[in-house]
Amino acid sequence: MVSLGAVAVSLMLAVFVGCSLAAVGLIRKIWWGHRLAVGILAVNVVGDTANALLRDDLRTLIGVPIGVALIVYLLRPSIAQLYNRSANA
């Protein structure tokens, strides 16, 4: 990250904003917060898997079952219905 300089700061700022928006959406039980959280977790799982396969960094695999478990939890019907667009309109 140090070698990226200002680009790294911009990337981390984007991650901060995305995670903050997802947290606010989840707390307020807004449909877009739920979708954003699932999307961020999915990107993280794909990234962890890619790092393990392409860079031979098996340590990143610890994030895969955690991310998948969180996605499965968020997509359970009893949880997903809390964020249903028509239920909150």
Those residues of the chain that have pLDDT short of 70 are: 86-89
Host domain of residue 38: 20-88
pLDDT of residue 88: 57
Q: How many structural domains compose the chain?
A: 1
Asked, for residue 15, whether it belongs to a domain, the answer is: no
Asked, for residue 83, whether it belongs to a domain, the answer is: yes
Site of tokens 């949880």: 79
Quickly count: other Cβ atoms within 10 Å of residue 36's Cβ.
Answer: 19
pLDDT of residue 85: 73
> For the whole model, what pTM was predicted?
0.87
**The pair of three-digit structure tokens given for residue 67, joined into one six-digit string:** 């991310």
Asked, for residue 1, whether it belongs to a domain, the answer is: no
**Residue-wise pLDDT tens digits, 33-49:** 999 999 999 999 999 99
Contacts 24+ apart (CB under 8 A), 44-47: 45/71
Asked, for residue 51, whether it belongs to a domain, the answer is: yes
pLDDT of residue 31: 95
pLDDT of residue 2: 79
